[in-house]
């Protein structure tokens, strides 16, 4: 294999990417755009077939909303039911700038916080639209019967979340994602009953079909029979979630994967900012080595919990034995203004630093304490139980320790990916007719996502953005009908089949899970919480070597045309082995630290992230140029007209 290009600077395209941001003042862009785009007439909508891949908040909301408008929708997911998409696991809440608490919130403030939180690497116009739509999301969900928490007076309750200085987070106990998803699922089931949406569960999209350069269909593997199936339509919406499981260890569900997005990338969709990954500070540390799934403890716990480590390195006493004076509440000490509520990237790195200094706690020394003693004394057990009861219960179930009596042990884990397919203002990728929604796109969170804003983005994209922008695309283009008889379908399916057969033919000895764990280890150690050039170069070589081993050693018992989880996993890991290279390459090229991307070489004297606005105020969108070929870098320059990029300070 050609290893030489790995270390060379990326080839750069001269063309600057155009995000098609509508003209006009920030706060009028979306309203004016929406008011001026072409529309599809009601009678014509049912003539359009739209393929929606994914049933999480983004895909589920989009499929339901498009069904309500009268489109013919085919909706796909991996699980046995759309209700199980990983959005279901979100705990903490969803933001909206309702200002119900009269504490000074506004669309502009939510916009400002999100741009700043993203370390000035997000697109202003998109973020403003998100803030603007946030209120309508809450209205929609309440009307669906989502049982949000309420005050005694009957109004909606809010809490402050993830370092926000206003209370703008709406929640349903610790199950906000579940309740929002079940709301969307209800709407989706209503459309299935109405005949507008056809649900195709236990299907995995494995390729995109292009006809005349436009997205016109997909190839899926039926996960029960193993048959390859093709579907045709006038547009494809990808809402397939994020790629945190490239790290193996993550808070994401075991079926989360990047294959659909990666295969679209190979068909021409640019992949943006893959190195912007988020490590969540409060997860239950790994207990067993083979474990892949880590359980998140909601960030809301930091509202009342205090994070600390022993002040002296190598102190192995239990928490109770360490007197107050020998504890270091390091977040409160280093960041007095925000204390325990600093954003995720900052909290995660601080925890890592403490453990690297030998102050970590627990059996492995890779954990810090999250302590509720002070809050229990101040508020009493009933209040704490009402706020966090289910989280405490979950923690105890996993660790067999009672957080009412001993502090929780927490450690950071891969959680969310800000990077994803590049999309313009209309959520369209660089392939006409292929749209990306939710975590699968890169759009709104820059280099770091604030808590409670992913749910907001998924639902904004699905319920309120795509119905307009998709309509505009179709109205302007007026597609001719297409069927899977077109030769492009058979050809794409044949390529997918070939790929599957090559995997089965390896017939090695290594279980896929072990190879996946090895990949995750490389990514976590060298492309994880902190990165530096030599480690990244090494990662690039290790990933290539592992890829070689994978194709010699992988063992997939069973056949193609049957339910076969080892095969499913092997397909996803094979794609991750290709994608991981792009992840490391992007991290290597971005010679600055920003948000979740921390390069050891670029930091302030105090050890904080040091951006380089002059060189890197752009979105890095990568074009696929062939297997083992150097990808081509395209830049979308970011302009900040309403928020002045400054050093993010939470001190």
Q: Which residues are catalytic?
A: 344
Count CA atoms closer than 13 A to 249's CA, side-chain side. Answer: 24
CA quadruple 591, 592, 594, 599: dihedral, nearest 10: 80
Give the residue, chosen from 176, 278, 282, 340, that forms a contact with ligand FAD under the rule CB under 6 A.
176
Window 287-326: residues binding ligand FAD (CB under 6 A): 296
Q: How far apart are CA 301 and CA 297, in angstroms?
A: 7
Helix (H) / strand (E) containing 368: strand 368-371
Q: How far apart are CA 233 and CA 72, in angstroms?
A: 9
Question: What is the closest distance, in whole angstroms, from the C-beta atom of residue 49 to other proteins in the complex?
Answer: 20
Q: Would you count residue 151 as binding other proteins (CB under 8 A)?
A: yes
Window 568-627: residues binding other proteins (CB under 8 A): none
Q: How far apart are CA 558 and CA 570, in angstroms?
A: 12
Number of residues that bind ligand FAD (CB under 6 A): 44
With CB under 5 to 8 Å by kind, the binding choice for 467 among ligand FAD, other proteins, none is other proteins
Q: Residue 488 in contact with residue 210, Cβ under 8 Å?
A: yes
565-589 and 487-506 helices cross at what angle (nearest 10)?
100
With CB under 5 to 8 Å by kind, the binding choice for 376 among ligand FAD, other proteins, none is none
Give the residue, chosen from 18, 23, 400, 606, that forms a contact with other proteins under the rule CB under 8 A.
400
Using the structure block, give the residue that is written with the tokens 């749910």: 455
Question: What is the closest distance, in whole angstroms, from the C-beta atom of residue 526 to ligand FAD in the complex?
Answer: 23
Q: Would you count residue 205 as binding ligand FAD (CB under 6 A)?
A: yes
Q: Would you count residue 88 as binding other proteins (CB under 8 A)?
A: yes
- For residue 399, CA distances in Å to 90, 307, 367, 406, 522 come to 21, 18, 13, 11, 27
Q: Would you count residue 298 as binding other proteins (CB under 8 A)?
A: no
Number of residues that bind other proteins (CB under 8 A): 85
Window 155-174: residues binding other proteins (CB under 8 A): 155-156, 172-173
Q: How far apart are CA 359 and CA 328, in angstroms?
A: 10
Count CA atoms closer than 13 A to 621's CA, side-chain side. Answer: 27
With CB under 5 to 8 Å by kind, the binding choice for 429 among other proteins, ligand FAD, none is none
With CB under 5 to 8 Å by kind, the binding choice for 241 among ligand FAD, other proteins, none is ligand FAD
Q: Would you count residue 34 as binding other proteins (CB under 8 A)?
A: no
Question: What is the closest distance, in whole angstroms, from the C-beta atom of residue 508 to other proteins in the complex?
Answer: 10
What's the sign of the alpha-carbon dihedral 439, 445, 447, 449? negative
Residue placing its CB nearer to other proteins in the complex, 406 or 628: 406
Q: Would you count residue 212 as binding other proteins (CB under 8 A)?
A: no
Window 512-541: residues binding other proteins (CB under 8 A): 513-514
Q: How far apart are CA 287 and CA 289, in angstroms?
A: 7
Angle, vertex CA 239, rays to CA 55 and CA 146, nearest 5:
45
With CB under 5 to 8 Å by kind, the binding choice for 401 among ligand FAD, other proteins, none is none
Give the residue, chosen from 37, 101, 566, 610, that forms a contact with other proteins under the rule CB under 8 A.
566
Kindly state the tokens that stand for 547.
């890829």
For residue 260, which of 467, 431, 29, 502 has the smallest C-alpha distance? 431
Stretch that binds other proteins, among 9-17, 150-158, 203-211, 620-628 (CB under 8 A): 150-158
Bridge partners of 243, per DSSP, are: none
Within 10 A of 167 (CB to CB), how many other CB atoms are there? 17
Q: Would you count residue 59 as binding ligand FAD (CB under 6 A)?
A: yes
Query: What is the residue-wise DSSP string for 563-587?
Result: --HHHHHHHHHHHHHHHHHHHHHHH
Q: Would you count residue 453 as binding ligand FAD (CB under 6 A)?
A: yes
Give the residue, chosen from 10, 22, 27, 89, that forms a contact with other proteins under the rule CB under 8 A.
89
Window 70-109: residues binding ligand FAD (CB under 6 A): 76-79, 85-87, 89-94
Q: How far apart are CA 251 and CA 398, in angstroms?
A: 14
Q: Residue 193 in contact with residue 472, Cβ under 8 Å?
A: no
Question: What is the closest distance, in whole angstroms, from the C-beta atom of residue 339 to other proteins in the complex?
Answer: 28
With CB under 5 to 8 Å by kind, the binding choice for 511 among ligand FAD, other proteins, none is other proteins
First to last CA, the chain: 48
Return the DSSP state at 364. Answer: T
Stretch that binds other proteins, among 37-45, 107-115, 541-549, 561-569 (CB under 8 A): 561-569
> What 3-state class would DSSP assign to 220?
strand
Q: Would you count residue 103 as binding other proteins (CB under 8 A)?
A: no
Q: Would you count residue 398 as binding other proteins (CB under 8 A)?
A: yes
Residues in the chain: 651
Residue placing its CB nearer to ligand FAD in the complex, 61 or 361: 61
Residues that bind ligand FAD (CB under 6 A): 53-59, 76-79, 85-87, 89-94, 176-177, 203-205, 239-241, 251-252, 257, 259-260, 296, 415-416, 438-440, 452-455, 458
């Amino acid at each position: 294999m050609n290893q030489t290009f790995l270390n060379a600077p990326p080839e750069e395209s001269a063309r600057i990417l155009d995000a098609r941001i509508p003209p006009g003042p920030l706060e009028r862009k979306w309203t004016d755009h929406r008011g001026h785009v072409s529309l599809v007439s009601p009678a014509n909508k049912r003539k359009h077939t739209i393929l929606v891949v994914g049933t999480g908040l983004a895909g589920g909301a989009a499929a339901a909303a498009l069904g309500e408008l009268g489109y013919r929708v085919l909706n796909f997911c991996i699980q046995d039911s759309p209700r199980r998409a990983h959005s279901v696991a979100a705990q903490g809440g969803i933001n909206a700038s309702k200002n119900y608490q009269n504490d000074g919130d506004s669309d502009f403030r939510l916009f400002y916080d999100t741009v700043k939180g993203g370390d000035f690497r997000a697109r202003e116009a998109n973020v403003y639209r998100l803030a603007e739509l946030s209120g309508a999301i809450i209205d929609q969900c309440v009307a669906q019967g989502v049982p949000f928490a309420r005050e005694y007076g009957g109004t909606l309750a809010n809490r402050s979340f993830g370092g926000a200085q206003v209370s703008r987070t709406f929640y349903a106990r610790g199950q906000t994602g579940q309740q929002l998803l079940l709301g969307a699922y209800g709407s989706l089931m209503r459309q299935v009953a109405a005949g507008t949406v056809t649900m195709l569960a236990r299907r995995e999209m494995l390729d995109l079909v292009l006809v005349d350069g436009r997205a016109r269909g997909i190839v899926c593997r039926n996960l029960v029979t193993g048959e390859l199936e093709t579907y045709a339509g006038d547009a494809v919406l990808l809402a397939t979630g994020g790629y945190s499981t490239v790290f193996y260890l993550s808070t994401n569900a075991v079926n989360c994967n990047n294959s659909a997005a990666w295969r679209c990338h190979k068909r021409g969709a640019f992949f943006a900012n893959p190195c912007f990954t988020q490590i969540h500070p409060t997860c239950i540390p790994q207990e067993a080595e083979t474990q892949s799934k880590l359980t998140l403890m909601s960030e809301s716990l930091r509202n009342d919990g205090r994070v600390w480590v022993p002040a002296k390195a190598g102190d192995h006493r239990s928490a109770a034995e360490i007197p107050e004076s020998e504890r270091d509440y390091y977040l409160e000490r280093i960041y007095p203004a925000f204390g325990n509520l600093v954003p995720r990237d900052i909290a995660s790195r601080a925890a890592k630093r403490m453990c690297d200094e030998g102050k970590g706690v627990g059996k492995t020394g890779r954990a810090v304490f999250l302590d509720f003693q002070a809050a229990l004394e101040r508020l009493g057990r009933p209040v704490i139980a009402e706020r966090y009861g289910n989280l405490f219960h979950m923690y105890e179930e996993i660790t067999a320790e009672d957080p009412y009596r001993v502090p929780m042990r927490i450690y950071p884990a891969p959680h969310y990916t800000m990077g994803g397919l590049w999309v313009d203002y209309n959520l369209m990728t660089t392939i006409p007719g292929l749209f990306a929604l939710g975590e699968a796109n890169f759009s709104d969170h820059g280099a770091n996502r604030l808590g409670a804003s992913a749910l907001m983005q998924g639902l904004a994209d699905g319920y309120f953005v795509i119905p307009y922008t998709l309509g505009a695309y179709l109205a302007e283009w007026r597609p001719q009908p297409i069927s899977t008889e077109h030769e492009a379908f058979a050809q794409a399916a044949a390529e997918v089949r070939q790929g599957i057969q090559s995997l089965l033919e390896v017939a090695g000895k290594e279980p896929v899970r072990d190879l996946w764990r090895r990949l995750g280890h490389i990514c976590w150690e060298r492309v994880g919480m902190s990165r530096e050039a030599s480690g990244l170069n090494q990662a690039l070589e290790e990933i290539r070597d592992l890829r070689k081993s994978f194709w010699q050693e992988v063992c997939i018992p069973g056949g193609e045309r049957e339910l076969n989880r080892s095969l499913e996993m092997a397909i996803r890991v094979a794609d991750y082995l290709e994608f991981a290279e792009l992840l490391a390459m992007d991290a290597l090229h971005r010679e600055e630290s920003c948000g979740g991307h921390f390069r050891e070489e670029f930091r302030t004297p105090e050890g904080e992230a040091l951006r380089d606005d002059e060189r890197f105020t752009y979105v890095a969108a990568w074009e696929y140029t062939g297997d083992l070929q150097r990808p081509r870098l395209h830049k979308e320059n970011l302009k900040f007209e309403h928020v002045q990029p400054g050093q993010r300070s939470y001190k």
